[in-house]
Amino acid sequence: MYQLSHMTWEEVASAVEGGTDTAILPIGATEQHGPHMGCGMDTAIAHRLCSDVAKQSDVILLPTLPYGCSVGHSQRWPGTLALNPKTLIDVISDLGDWVKSSGIRRLVLVNGHVTNEAPLRCALEILRARHDGFMVALVNTAQISARVKGAHFADADDWHANDAETSLMMHLYPEIVRENKLAEADDEDRTGNCLFSHPVNRTSKNGVTGTPSIASAEKGAELYQWMCEDFSSLLQQAVKEEAPLNHRYYESVLKI
């Protein structure tokens, strides 16, 4: 595995010159996850997934970003450390500039927190317009494939710290989970008939949406295996993919 934080500049250059021109950037969040789970859950899953899959892939693993767009969680529960959406856009687009300057042609953003998606998509738009031929992809860990998405959404549409997330942590990082709190952690999804997108303090009593009480390490192990298998398949495509057409971004069809 190529791990950028452990490589010298000469080793980075050698890897790129040798054809390893795809990088993956794990992006998480630091935010409350109910009374039963630590605040680093989103970062933990993004980091672990990327680290494990990168070992079997011809990619460069970038250091994990532990902060994301968690402003929707409000200040009701301590522990959330959030970036505003425009800040996250700037952080990712700035990092992307430097990734491109190292000779990397493909960047896969691996997102472990649901509401990072919109800012990350904006950063993707900026980077592909700013750097002709630079390919950027966005992969959400909870929606890598149909089976992974189905498991995450099984107990709530507006899920958070639910069965799936809790099961994953019970398997991967049991020290993050407070099992003595599971029985009291369940809280219903109240967003079914809502037109507006309300912050979590107005939709949840304890920061949870879903049923973590039914979580288990066994379910987490199966789900994580799916995530690894399906993300590995995506990366196999990523390291080879080229654009369908080879037209320059700033080249107009108009002859002026």
What the block records as the tokens of 163 is: 């069965």
Q: Where are the alpha helices (DSSP H) in the chain?
A: 9-17, 41-54, 85-101, 117-130, 146-152, 163-172, 217-238
The Cα-based distances of 21 to 60, 61, 107, 192, 220 in angstroms read 8, 11, 9, 43, 32
Selection from 49, 72, 70 nearest residue 202 by Cα: 72
Q: How far apart are CA 42 and CA 165, in angstroms?
A: 9
Q: What is the pLDDT of residue 251?
A: 87
Q: In the chain, what percentage of residues exceed pLDDT 70? A: 100
pTM for the model stands at: 0.97
CA separation, residue 169 to residues 32, 110, 189, 219, 220 (Å): 14, 18, 21, 10, 7
Comparing CA positions, the residue from 33, 36, 145, 138 lying closest to residue 96 is: 138
pLDDT tens-digit readout, 45-97: 999 999 999 999 999 999 999 999 999 999 999 999 999 999 999 999 999 99
Q: How far apart are CA 253 and CA 92, in angstroms?
A: 31
pLDDT band per the 50, 70, 90 thresholds, residue 255: confident
Query: What does DSSP say about strands 22-27 and 60-61: parallel, antiparallel, or unpaired?
Result: parallel
Query: Considering Cα of 76, then 149, then 134, then 9, what sign does the dihedral take?
Result: positive
* pLDDT (mean) for 28-57: 98
pLDDT at 1: 78
Buried/exposed code over 155-192 (b: 16+ C-beta within 10 A; e: otherwise): bbebbbbbbbbbbbbbbbbeebbeeeebeebbbebebe
Give tens-digit pLDDT for 179-212.
999 999 999 999 999 999 999 999 999 999 999 9
pLDDT tier, 119 (very low <50, low <70, confident <90, very high otherwise): very high
User: Which tens digit of pLDDT belongs to each residue from 147-165?
Assistant: 999 999 999 999 999 999 9
